[in-house]
Structures are given as structure tokens and as C-alpha cells.
Amino acid sequence: MASSLDPSHSTATNQPSVQVSDDAQGYYVPGEPLVDPRTPAGPIQDRWTTRKFENRLVNPANRRKLSVIIVGTGLAGGAAAATLGEAGYNVKSFCYQDSPRRAHSIAAQGGINAAKNYKEDGDSTFRLFYDTVKGGDYRARESNVYRLAEVSANIIDQCVAQGVPFAREYGGLLDNRSFGGVQVSRTFYARGQTGQQLLIGAYQAMERQVAAGTVEEFTRHEMLELIVADGRARGIIARNMVTGEIETHLADVVVLASGGYGNVFYLSTNAMGSNVTATWRAHRKGAYFANPCYTQIHPTCIPVAGTHQSKLTLMSESLRNDGRIWVPKNKADCDKDPRQIPEADRDYYLERIYPSFGNLVPRDIASRGAKNVCDEGRGVGPEVDGVRRGVYLDFSASIERLGEDAVREKYGNLFDMYQQITGENPYEVPMRIYPAVHYTMGGLWVDYDLQASIPGLFVTGEANFSDHGANRLGASALMQGLADGYFVLPNTIREYLADGPFEPIPEEHPAVVEAKKSVEDRVAHFLSTNGTRSVDSYHRELGNIMWEYCGMERTEDGLKKAIDLIRSLREDFWRNVKVLGTADSLNQSLEKAGRVADFFELGELMCVDALNRRESCGGHFRAESQTEDGEALRHDDQFAYVAAWEFGGDGALPVLHKEDLVYTAIEMKQRSYK
Amino acid sequence: MAVSGLLFIAFVLLHMYGNLKAFAGHDSYNTYAEHLRTFGEPILPREGLLWILRLGLIAALALHLYSALALWHRSGKARTSKYVVKKNLGSSFSSRTMRWGGVTLLLFVVWHLIHFTIVKVNPDGGATNDPYNLVVDSFQVWWMTIIYLVAMAALGLHLHHGTWSSLQTLGWTSTAAARTRAKIAGWVVAIVIAGGFSLVPLFVLFGVID
Amino acid sequence: MKVTLKIWRQPDSASQGAMHTYEVDQVSEDMSFLEMLDVLNEQLNTQGEDPVAFDSDCREGICGMCGLMINGQAHGPEVTTTCQLHMRSFKDGDEIVVEPWRSDAFPVLKDLVVDRGALDRMIQAGGFISVNTGSAPEAHSVPVPRDDAVRAFNAAACIGCGACVAACPNGSASLFLGAKITHLGELPQGQPERHSRVVDMVAQHDHEGFGGCTNIGECTAACPKEIPLDVISQLNRDLRVAMAHGH
């Protein structure tokens, strides 16, 4: 692994990349290279300790004079609100749901990784770090990832102390399992509801601070604009979703923990309300958006049943351990009862193409395989918009081999869930699965201290880009959210707050007036368009474009076409959207309109980013960059950088800043799953 | 609610046991009734024990009534606008009839005290100072028996839920086994008491006791 | 299939509400109940009528945001959340009555949307273990017997949807409360605050205007996560013990 490397980890193992291709020419403006000003030096294992020491402290007596706004109450936001509240800062916490406990972290099923090495199976901080960088196809910053691995063990301690009911063995100690093809057992879990239990832990810690008076919570509030005054993020404009009031909230620092943007695809495993507005409004105010094209697509979701579909449901990937994936060899068999199709007429395509890994190939390969066979017309299940999008995941062989009871023991709850949603019994009829958008690795660019390119704006959890590179390992999203919220942000934000409290800004400050007016104008616009199409219909159409051209497989032509389609659809949206109701009441159409408006702009940037990155890595596959066998092909010589996009202005092109990725602790390697 | 309820259960169990003395005949029954009045003499005055029991029961009744009214009031305030449609799925009939069943029992107790204790009404027009004869004369009248049987049905329902509920309220049903026992206790108490009380009126009506 | 919906419409908490009747055609049995309402809203939007407001977020049965009274049953005829209820549970031509959770502690904000902030305030009163970030001991320093961990987990599965309150004839939130008391009370980490937690949370429960529990059991029958009634027994036991200890 790192044996041949410089033990002090100060020598780079790779050269800065030089991009040769320029597919996105005409769609962007090249900008200055970007260097993380806070990137630490020295041996990798000492960097975080050193930084914690270097960062200035804030006198406990001064903390109550400092105010922090946190947008989002998932693992990253909830944990940060609790921790900063405990430290004595004045925290204002915002969420669009009716309670902080409903943030979408709650839906994570699998587990949370931590380098505890309780199994004594060779795990270590370094191995978790190494697996995470490798899993992300060498597109993450090594210092950030090492820190993540380092604090992972503390997360488990913290959660257990809060009363999170992790699975335990008969001896009363914590149980671990191996997850996502990793060879060590480092995943802690609470049945299939790990996210729920971790979030309830963070939520309870936060509610305790609400009772203590250090945290004030604003539920059913949606951030619609960032206030940047005199070069610093100083507050937000939020809409009270019940009364419709446009409120100004000012503070010394703003933290965005508003999650990912998978809902740009309309159908995803995200919650209905998950949106990009908070981060996008910050982007428009100067925060760089990094690697927007990195999208994780999960292969084992329940397929779309019809055009009414509002969201997709994920089933644990563990199903692929015992299920065999196939489609009919002949198109004519696609609408037949699968049990009537003889073995000889079935195509177990993953086993055929990848004989050594078979059905257990990585997520992106499994996903693309399913798309390919469905595009060929060999998909199964209901026809939606003329195509059958589904492949069989067949347990009949396992049921025969292990018995139905053994299969029920292992997957019973997943089978029940499947049956509840589809009305089909997977013990008798093969399951149908199809990939769905699940997680977005891109997000607002942050430095090592999680500070965005706007001073005073910090970004945590899925909302930032920092830790997963081009792809995220299973059970690592929960780890990152809590690492940022409990341990990283509270230690980095104090360096910024040590200069505070900053001079109070009045509500008449031009930056506040401008931000508030822009929100009010937007609301007024939507309510006065009097168009003919609903917000949802635009969202669905945008999602189709993104899925078709910026989904599992992307091509130069497709992306250019997508950009054109998005631009014209967006223009139509602004002219022709129909939003009923009033501004001063609970108005769900109005809420959606604002979110979809931002998804349009983000969708276009995602396509531009995907167009520029003419390589395949992790959650980004360019058809032009694959091996002869159809595997993803990276170009480290050209693209080992973070693409940080600066907003160029309405109607202007985005500006691309590249941050080189330099590795000292490991060497980059091409993957192979053949 | 639970504590006063359990006191009532103890009381009605004893009361029922006493009633069954009717099967032992006129003298046995009347001796038992007289003994209740002389119990504890000479330390206690005549009817001393009865008055202690009565005061205890009055206190329990006050507590039970107060708690019931408070709960009733709270539940009324907790949902001032009602559902247009509301189904009951997890609840027993007995649990849903606790309040009006309780009111029925209260009215019955008033009548019962008038009937046998305070005024002593003999529908036959006969003597009222002989407890056994008063019982027999009363239940030979069919509608008298009906009133008592209806009241016993109400009592059975009230005890069926009340027994389980009091055990649950006291926190003695935290395990599956304890819950099963408490549910069984509800049935046993309801059947034994309501059934036991019903025996005397029925046997009188059908002429077995006379 | 075609269904007739009778839906509670109420512009805001200050206004009076009433039932309105709508028909939705071409309902597929694969639709979730909420997707059927999405179709209705698309229809209303086209007709120029304000869409029906209802809460939902994850739509996979875990966030607890959705919750409707459907034909007199909290979350409808199946043991699941409203978002996981599918139209195959209904028949062509059915009339479906849809109402918001009815509880004075959950004021209606609009149509089918209610304010469940009372549940958060109950957690604030003591539904936590006081441990500041960074002060936790090593996770393996306190083993937890597996049975205790399982019972704590079963109680912790509560999603805070409020169906127990909606279904309870008394409008009590005892099942929600008992679930949290049992979750934290079963674990060794929850012991130091066990007495004060139950006393404070019960006081907040009563203060919010929820009704008292009469052990009827409608709550547990409506609970989409099948939280058992014994958590209320645990709540009562803990309260009794706490009071005996002078709390």
C-alpha cells in the first residue's frame, strides 16, 4: 500500500494534472487555479491534531455573544447545533420540515463505518482512509479523508453514550458487519434503521440545548437567500412556510447543512422536500460549487411503476449477495411471466460479463449494466413512456439452496417492503429492480476547515463536496455527517469566530435589503405568472432530461443536447408556470416553484461539469472514456483535480477553478473488477 | 383510578362471597348479615366495621369519581373537533364503555343502597327487617332481577377492562407474560364477580332459593 | 379505478373548515395514497382550485412527516404509514374520507397539515441523555445486555408521526411518551436521569393538553411501527418509582 512511500508523507506521489481535452469549450470560462489556503502540512496522521491546536480558542464568556445560523437538521446540522449549543454559542437552527427529527438522514438504512477494529480483522484509521480515497476513485482530498477516518471512532462513543441502540452481540458488546464489498467488518448498525437512530440521537441532543436556551429552532422555515455583507456571510432570508412571512435572520456565521441535490432528477431516493436552494443561493452569492456531476446511482431500487411515481425506494444492496440478476435473452419474452422463461432463455448478464465478481460488481457497473439491457429493449416490468425499466433479481436459486426460511431470516423485512410497494410476492416471483439516484458527492467547495469561498460560510455533510471524491462508500454518509457536525466544524469554526463578534449589521444594510427584495420579487413573480403548467410537470420533465443525458452514462453530444433542452425548458418555466394560492399562507406549490427554479440552474451546471470531465470516475461515466471491456477509465494525468465552479452571473458563463489533488500518503491506482 | 378501582374489586369480591351465603339458607344468611354488624365487638361499636368499610368505600368512590371526571374532562378538551368518521380497531367493547358503564353502575349503586340498605324496599310489600326474605321477595319479581342482571353485565364489562387497566396503570404489565396474566385476570374477575352476583337473583327467580 | 374523496379543507388555523368532495379518475393500484393525492392536486391546479395541502417527506415510511385519518383510521386500513399505503387497498368506486389528525395539541395549519410541535417540546422536557460532545467514554466500556438493547430498539423505532394521538379516543400521547421512556430507560446510559426524565416529560405531556391514558389500546393498533402497549406500562412504573423517590 504505502510501503514504498516517504514515511513523513511530504513528497507528492503524483504530478499535477494537465487537461488536454476541452469538451465544454464555449460553456464556461477558465478561472484562476484554486489552492486550499487552509490545507495542513506535515505527516498525514498529525495534520488534524496540529490544526485543532493552531485554531484559536473562543473564551467561554464570549461564546454567548456569538451567534451561529445552521440551515438543516440532519446528522451534520443537528449534531453541529447540539455541539455548538453545548459550547455556549447562540445557535439558530432552521429546517423546512415540521420537526428537526424528520431530516432525510433518517432514511439511511445500512450503517455507519468507524475504524474501531473491534473485530481485530486488520482495520485501522489508515485502512478506512485508504478504502475511502480508493472508493472515491482518487478524487477526494487526502487530508480531509484522513481526518474523517480519524474521528470515526469518536462518533460511535458519542452515539452510544446518547443511547443510540446499536445492534449488540450476546455478550452485550457492539456488533459489526462488513458492508459494500469491504473486506473488514467496520460497520455499526441498528437493524435497517441506522440513520433513524443516529438522527434521533443528534435530535435529542439538540432538543436538550433548545431546553437549555442555547439553540432556538425554526421549523417549517426555508432559507431562500444568503446575506453577504462586507464580504462575509452574515445571515439568511427565510420564509416562514406557515405564515408566508419573509424573515431576516442575522448572525456572525452561517452554516449550511442542507443535504444533497439528487432531486434534480425528480425521481430519486431523496425525500420529497430535499432541495438545492440553500446551497444554490449561496453559490449565486459567490460560493464555489465543486464537482456537481458526481452522482451516486444505487442499483437495487424498486422500479418506476407509472408516470404518477413521486419517489423511488431503495432496498439494501445486500440483496445482491444471494439474488441473481437477469433479463430475457429475447425481447419477445419481456412481458411473459418470468417463471415460464426457461433457463436457456435467460441472460444473467453480470455473471456473463464479469465472471469473477458476478452480481457483486460495484454499484456503478451494476447500474450501467441494467440501463444497457433496458435500452436494448430487454427490460421487464410495466412499460413507462414506452420503455420497460427493470431487471429481475431472482432468489429462486437461493430459496432452493438455503430454504425459504433462511432467506426470510436474512431478507424478510426487505421482501415485505417490496411486497408492500409492488403488491408482488418476491418469494414466488422474481423481484424487479432498477437503479436510482441516491447520493450526490458534489457540493459547495470548502477548505480543510469546511469554510466555503465566502468568509463566514461553512458547509457540512452532503451539502459540501469534501470527503467522498467521485464516489461514496456504503455506510460512509452517516459517518461524514456526524464527523462534520460533532467533531470537525466545532473545532474549525472557532478560528473564524475568534475574530468576532462582528459589527452588528442593521436590517437597512443594503445587502439585507437587496437579499430580502430578491426573495419577495421571486415569490411575487411565481404567483403572478398565471401560466398553464404545474411546477411538478416542469420538475418531472427536467428530471427526465437529467436522467437521460446526465445519468448513468454521459456523452458529449448528449450533454450538449441536455444543456439546450434545460435552457429552453427553464425559459418556458419562468413564463408559463402556474402557481395558485397566496404568498401569506402555507403554499406548497410556491415552495416547490422556488426549488425547481434552482434545480434548473444546477442541472445545467451539472451538465457543463460532466461535459468538461472527459473521463470516467466513480459516479461519473463518460462513454468516451472506457476500457475495451466497458469499464470506467480515469485520466489522472488530466483530471486529478476538483472542479470548483464560480457563478458567472445571470446569463453569463460559469467560471472554472481547478484545485489540484495531490497525494502524499498513497498512490493512485486504476481499478479492475474483471 | 387504579388504586380505588382495585379497592372496589376487593370489596365486590367479598360482597359476592357474602351473597352466596343465600345458598346456605335463611338462617345462615341472616347470621352472616348480623355478624357483619357485630364484627370486632367489643373493641368496635356495633356496625363499627361496616362504617369503616363504608367510609373507605365512600373515599374510594370520591377518588374514583374525581379521577374519572378529570380524565373525561381532559379527553374532551384534548379533541374539541371530532372526526367525521372514526373507527375503533385495537380496543375492546368494555374499554370503550367505561364511562357510561361507570355512570350506569353509579346509578345502580344508588338504587341498590335504597333497595337494601337505606330505605329497604320490598316490592312484595312484605317485611324489610329480614335480610334473607327481603332478597328472596325482591328477586321473585322478574323486573327486579332484570335490573340486577343488567347491572351485573355493566359491572362485568367495567371489571374486564378495569382490572387489566389498573394493573397496566400501576406498571405491572411490562413483560409479555405479565400482560397476558393481566388480561386473563380481567376476564376471571369479570366472570367470577358478575357471574357470582347473578347466581342468587337467578336462582331466586327460578325458585331454587325461596 | 375511480374514487370519491371527501377531504377536510381549511384555509388556515383561524378559519373554519369543511369537508369537500372530489372525484379522481384513472387511479392505478400501484399508486401510493399520497401519489393519488398528487394526481388530485394536479387536477385541481388545472381547474384553478387551490391544491390540497398535506405533509409528506421521505415517502418511505421512516420520517414520520405524513399522517392522515383515512376512513376513520390513522394512516388508513393497513399497518403502515400513509405514504406506504397503496391504492390496491381500495376498490373501484370507493368513497374515502380524509381528515387531519384531530387533537387540540395538534392545531390544523391548513387542510390536512397539523402542527406537532408538542411532541418536540416533550422531548425538550427530558427525552435525552445529557452527554456533551466529546465527553463520551469508550463505546465498549459499558456492555448492554442484548435483551435490553432489543427492547430499547423496539421502543426507539417510534417515528413521532402522531398516529397514536390521532387514534386515541382520549387524545393521549402516552404511547409516544412511553416509547421514549422505555428506549432511554432500558439502557444503562439512561439511568442517571431516569426519574427526572419521566416526571418532566409527563408534566409537559399534560401541559400540552393531551388527554390521559385509559389503556384502551387504539394507539398501538394504529402505530405504523407497532410500538407495543407495554411501553405505557413502563412509563407508569417509572413514574410510580420516581414519585416514590420524591420526584
In tens, the pLDDT along A282-325 reads 999 999 999 999 999 999 999 999 989 999 999 988 888 889 99
pLDDT in tens, A355-397: 888 898 878 889 999 999 999 999 999 998 889 999 999 999 9
Q: In the beta sheet, which residues pair with residue A174?
A: A168
Compute, in degrees rounded to 10, the torsion defined by CA atoms A275, A278, A284, A290: -70
Residues A324 and A418 both lie in one domain: yes
- Does B193 map to a domain? yes
Cell numbers found for residue B72: 373525561
- Does B110 map to a domain? yes
Residue B35 Rama label (left phi>0; alpha psi -120 to 50; beta): alpha
Flag whether pLDDT at A631 surpasses 50: yes
Give the end of a domain, one of A438, A467, A482.
Answer: A438
Only one residue has cell 394493573, namely B167
Containing structural domain, residue B13? 2-205
Give the rounded percent of residues in chain A with a pLDDT score beyond 70: 98
Angle between helices C174-185 and C194-207 (to 10 degrees): 170
Only one residue has cell 459489526, namely A176
CATH of the domain at B181: 1.20.1300
Containing structural domain, residue A547? 510-639
Nearest to A173 among C38, C55, C140 (CB): C140
Beta strands A443-444 and A289-290 are: antiparallel
What number is the ipTM of this complex? Answer: 0.98
Contact C159 A308 (CB under 8 A): no
Average pLDDT over residues B7-18: 95
| Domains of chain A: total | 2
Residues A614 and A514 both lie in one domain: yes
| Domains of chain C: total | 2
Nearest to C45 among A242, A534, A586 (CB): A534
Residues C26 and C66 both lie in one domain: yes
Q: What is the pLDDT of residue A602?
A: 98
- Does C135 map to a domain? no
Cα distance between residue A634 and residue B184, in whole Å? 70
Containing structural domain, residue C218? 116-130+143-244
HSE value, Cβ hemisphere, 13 Å, CA-based, for A252: 21
Q: What is the pLDDT of residue A1?
A: 45
Residues C121 and C198 both lie in one domain: yes
Residues C83 and C156 both lie in one domain: no
Flag whether pLDDT at C147 surpasses 80: yes
Residues C194 and C123 both lie in one domain: yes
C partners (3+ CB pairs within 8 A) are A, B
> Would you place residue A5 in the very low, low, confident or very high pLDDT band (cuts 50, 70, 90)?
low
Q: What is the pLDDT of residue A354?
A: 87
Cell numbers found for residue C132: 456533551
Q: A122 vs chain C: nearest CA distance in angstroms?
A: 19
- Does C197 map to a domain? yes
C142 closest CA partner among A161, A189, A113, A165: A161
Question: From the DSSP assignment, how many helices (H) and strands (E) are in chain B?
Answer: 8, 0
Residue C45 CB contacts under 8 Å (≥ 6 apart), including other chains: A534, A578, A580, A589, C51
Only one residue has cell 439502557, namely C187
pLDDT in tens, A644-663: 999 999 999 999 999 999 99
CATH of the domain at A325: 3.90.700.10
Given a contact cutoff of 8 angstroms between Cβ atoms, the answer to whether C217 and C200 are in contact is no
Q: C169 vs chain A: nearest CA distance in angstroms?
A: 24
C82 closest CA partner among C36, C27, C21: C36
Q: B120 vs chain C: nearest CA distance in angstroms?
A: 36
Cell numbers found for residue A113: 463505518
The DSSP secondary structure of C145-211, one letter per residue, reads: -HHHHHHHHHHHT-----HHHHH-TT---HHHHHHHHHHHHTSGGGSTTHHHHHHHHHHHHHHTTPP
H/E segment holding residue A489: helix A489-497
Average pLDDT over residues C108-112: 98
Residue A609 CB contacts under 8 Å (≥ 6 apart), including other chains: A24, A291, A292, A293, A442, A643, A645
Cα distance between residue B168 and residue B174, in whole Å? 8
Beta strands, E only, A67-113? 67-71, 90-94, 112-113
Most confident of A105-114, A233-242, A349-358: A233-242
pLDDT in tens, A288-298: 999 999 999 99
Catalytic residues of A: 363
Considering only A4-8, A227-231, A245-249, A429-433, which range has the smallest mean pLDDT?
A4-8
Average pLDDT over residues A151-168: 97
Q: What is the pLDDT of residue B129?
A: 86
Average pLDDT over residues C199-227: 97
Flag whether pLDDT at C233 surpasses 80: yes
- Does A654 map to a domain? no
- Does B29 map to a domain? yes
Cα distance between residue A172 and residue C5, in whole Å? 51
Judged by a CB distance cut-off of 8 A, whether residue B86 touches chain C is: yes
| Mean of pLDDT over chain C | 97
Q: What is the pLDDT of residue A674?
A: 55
Q: What is the pLDDT of residue C220?
A: 96
- Does B210 map to a domain? no
pLDDT in tens, B36-75: 999 888 899 999 999 999 999 999 999 999 999 999 999 9
| Mean of pLDDT over chain A | 94
Residues of B in contact with C235 (CB under 8 A): 171
Contact B90 C239 (CB under 8 A): no
Residues of A in contact with C136 (CB under 8 A): 154, 157-158, 160-162
Flag whether pLDDT at A3 surpasses 50: no
pLDDT in tens, B84-143: 999 999 899 999 999 999 999 999 999 999 999 888 888 888 888 899 999 999 999 999
pLDDT in tens, A336-352: 999 999 999 999 999 99
Residues of C in contact with B165 (CB under 8 A): 214-215
Given a contact cutoff of 8 angstroms between Cβ atoms, the answer to whether B1 and C236 are in contact is no
A partners (3+ CB pairs within 8 A) are C
Residues C22 and C103 both lie in one domain: yes
Residue A268's Cα: distance from chain center in Å?
11
Residue A399 CB contacts under 8 Å (≥ 6 apart), including other chains: A407, A427
Q: What is the pLDDT of residue A2?
A: 43
Residue A346 CB contacts under 8 Å (≥ 6 apart), including other chains: A326, A327, A328, A329
Residues of B in contact with C169 (CB under 8 A): 75, 88, 91, 96
Only one residue has cell 423496539, namely C154
